[in-house]
């Protein structure tokens, strides 16, 4: 018996993705998401993230198989990787677990807000003033005062995105680690970040927040005027991504380190 028997379909609103989705509907009987065993996502990385976040919000998380109709397609499979029927492709795919981050923020007004991030949580200065951050990992303050443009916490799945552009490390899937990476650190100037076990929570307090306001971003959700932030891995929301053999996410993560 096939591992997955009923597939749902989610298609990006772009013209190119809609045309591809219409062709797929003519060759396979898709079901509503509440009846499905897995979901096929047609679009780019941004739309895949949007779909994964929607499943987390709805409380029904399905294995996701992406077909790239976007630009980079890091989280997606190549559209023409196989001519097999979509159900066969999904059932032959390899699965990878991706653990999102749970972010809790308190704003300067005292409001507490929670959000989820699959790629990274980032803190960014809101004005020309350099941000001042205090960083606590586990139960210890590791950096009493970091002057910088910001900082981010990246998952292995997100380590090749913003984190890598900020000179952070690329992390293999399943390594049980997070990347804590400064953005344009001024003092301590030589600090280049840390690789941390993912069971340790990370707390960042914004110092002098009236003079140096900071915003927090969990993937695509921004919260302004942050007073402090806590980030921890949310294993209860673990996601499953499906990849064609030979086009898996772990190979892409390795390959990114040899790109030139």
The H-assigned helical ranges of the chain are: 15-25, 45-58, 86-92, 162-165, 249-256
Rounded-to-integer distance, Cα 67 and Cα 5, Å:
18
pLDDT of the residue at 189:
82
Please tell me the CATH code under which domain 7-99+238-256 is placed.
3.40.50.10330
- Residue 1 CA: distances (Å) to CA of 5, 34, 89, 93, 224: 8, 21, 15, 15, 50
- Residue ranges of the annotated binding site are 45-46, 119-120, 149, 157, 160-165
Predicted pLDDT at 83: 53
Q: What local confidence, expressed as pLDDT, does residue 172 receive?
A: 85
Residue 227: what pLDDT?
97
pLDDT attached to residue 31:
96
Q: What is the pLDDT of residue 2?
A: 63
Domain ranges in the chain with CATH number 2.60.200.30? 101-236
Residues comprising the binding site for NAD(+)?
Answer: 45-46, 119-120, 149, 157, 160-165
pLDDT of residue 72: 73
pLDDT at 230: 98
Instruction: Quote the pLDDT of residue 245.
Output: 82
pTM of the complete model: 0.85
Contact 241, 98 (CB under 8 A): yes
- In CATH, the architecture of 101-236 is Sandwich (2.60)
Catalytic residues: 45
Report the distance separating Cα 130 and Cα 212, nearest Å: 7
Contact predicate 153/101, CB 8 Å = yes
CA 31, 37, 42: angle at the middle one, nearest 5? 65
pLDDT score at 73? 76
Q: Are 66 and 11 in contact (CB under 8 A)?
A: no
CATH 3.40.50.10330 occupies which residues in the chain? 7-99+238-256
Q: Between vectors from CA 203 to CA 200 and to CA 209, what angle results, nearest 5°?
A: 170
CA dist 31 → 63, 65, 167 (Å): 15, 15, 43
Average pLDDT along the chain, 260 residues, taken 10 residues at a time: 86 94 93 96 93 93 92 80 77 91 96 96 96 96 96 93 92 90 91 95 96 95 96 94 78 69
């Amino acid at each position: 018996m096939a591992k997955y028997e009923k597939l749902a379909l989610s298609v990006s609103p772009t013209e190119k993705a809609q045309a591809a989705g219409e062709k797929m509907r003519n060759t396979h009987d898709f079901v509503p998401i509440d009846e499905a065993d897995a979901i096929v996502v047609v679009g780019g990385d941004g739309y895949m993230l949007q779909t994964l976040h929607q499943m987390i919000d709805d409380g029904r998380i399905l294995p996701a198989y992406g077909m790239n109709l976007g630009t980079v397609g890091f989280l997606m499979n190549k559209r023409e990787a196989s001519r097999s029927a979509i159900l066969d492709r999904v059932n032959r795919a390899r699965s990878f677990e991706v653990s999102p981050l749970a972010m809790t923020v308190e704003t300067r007004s005292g409001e507490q807000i929670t959000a989820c991030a699959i790629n990274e949580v980032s803190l960014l200065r809101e004005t020309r003033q350099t941000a001042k951050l205090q960083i606590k990992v586990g139960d210890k303050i590791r950096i009493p005062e970091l002057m910088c443009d910001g900082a981010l916490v990246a998952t292995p799945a997100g380590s090749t995105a913003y984190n890598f552009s900020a000179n952070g490390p690329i992390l293999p899937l399943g390594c049980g680690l997070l990347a804590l990476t400064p953005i344009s650190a001024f003092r301590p100037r030589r600090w280049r970040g840390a690789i941390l076990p993912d069971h340790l929570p990370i707390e960042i307090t914004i110092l002098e927040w009236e003079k140096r306001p900071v915003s927090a971003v969990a993937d695509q959700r921004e919260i302004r005027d942050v007073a402090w932030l806590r980030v921890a891995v949310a294993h209860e929301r673990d996601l499953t991504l499906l990849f064609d053999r030979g086009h898996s996410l772990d190979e892409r993560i390795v390959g990114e380190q040899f790109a030139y």
